[in-house]
Amino acid sequence: MNSSSQHALVDAILEYLVNHPQAADSADGVTRWWLARNGSAPARADVERALAALVERGLLRRVELPDGTVLYCCEASARH
């Protein structure tokens, strides 16, 4: 994935969170429910890289549940 596509993916995730600030989901859920449009979704590996970049920038929080499931949510909503 080139940097332009990665930037667009990051922007799409942030746009979703602006409209759904309490959303929290796994990488699979983000891929399937937040980003899939017209039956096509980005590759999960690309979504995982975008999520990791947002976590690194402090915009998303990565939460690991006791069963090992990893969820991503808006950092601001995770503090409430």
Helix axes 3-19, 44-56, angle to 10 degrees: 70
User: How many domains, the chain?
Assistant: 1
pLDDT at 76: 67
Q: Print the domain residue range for 41.
A: 3-78
Helices and strands: H and E segment counts in the chain: 4, 3
Tens of pLDDT, residue by residue over 33-72, are 999 876 788 999 999 999 999 999 999 999 999 999 999 9
- Report the CATH number that the domain containing residue 38 is assigned in CATH: 1.10.10.10
Q: Is the pLDDT of residue 10 over 60?
A: yes
